[in-house]
């Protein structure tokens, strides 16, 4: 069960807090991480629109497999200017 740290920004931070630890099944991907966050916090529904993930301070694909100790940042696009 790899444990990862999730960092959230902007509207996601308002729902998830700035940082939280999440335990996932072996072989889980970033997509699975999002599903588990969504199950815990239904108000996240729809907020993944356009969002990217960063793993250990690098932007990465949603299919990436997670490992123990990974730091995941949820990066929604911002609307304001």
Q: Is 63 in the site for another protein (CB under 8 A)?
A: no
- What's the rounded Cα separation, in Å, for the pair 47 and 5? 19
The three-point CA angle 19-24-28 to 5° equals 115
**Least gap, CB of 77 to another protein (angstroms):** 5
In whole angstroms, give the CA distance from residue 79 to residue 28: 30
For the window 16-55, what string marks contact with another protein as x by the rule CB under 8 A? --x-----------------------xx-xxx-xxxx-x-
Separation between Cα atoms, residue 74 and residue 56, nearest integer Å: 11
73 binds another protein (CB under 8 A): yes
Binding site for another protein (CB under 8 A): 7, 9-11, 13, 18, 42-43, 45-47, 49-52, 54, 57-59, 73, 75-81
């Amino acid at each position: 069960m790899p444990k990862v740290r999730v960092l959230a920004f902007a509207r996601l931070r308002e729902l998830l807090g700035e940082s939280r630890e999440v335990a996932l099944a072996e072989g889980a991907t970033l997509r699975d991480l999002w599903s588990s966050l969504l199950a815990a916090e239904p108000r996240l529904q729809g907020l993944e629109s356009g969002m990217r993930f960063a793993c250990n301070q690098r932007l990465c694909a949603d299919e990436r497999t997670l490992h123990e100790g990974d730091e995941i940042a949820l990066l929604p696009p911002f609307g304001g200017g």
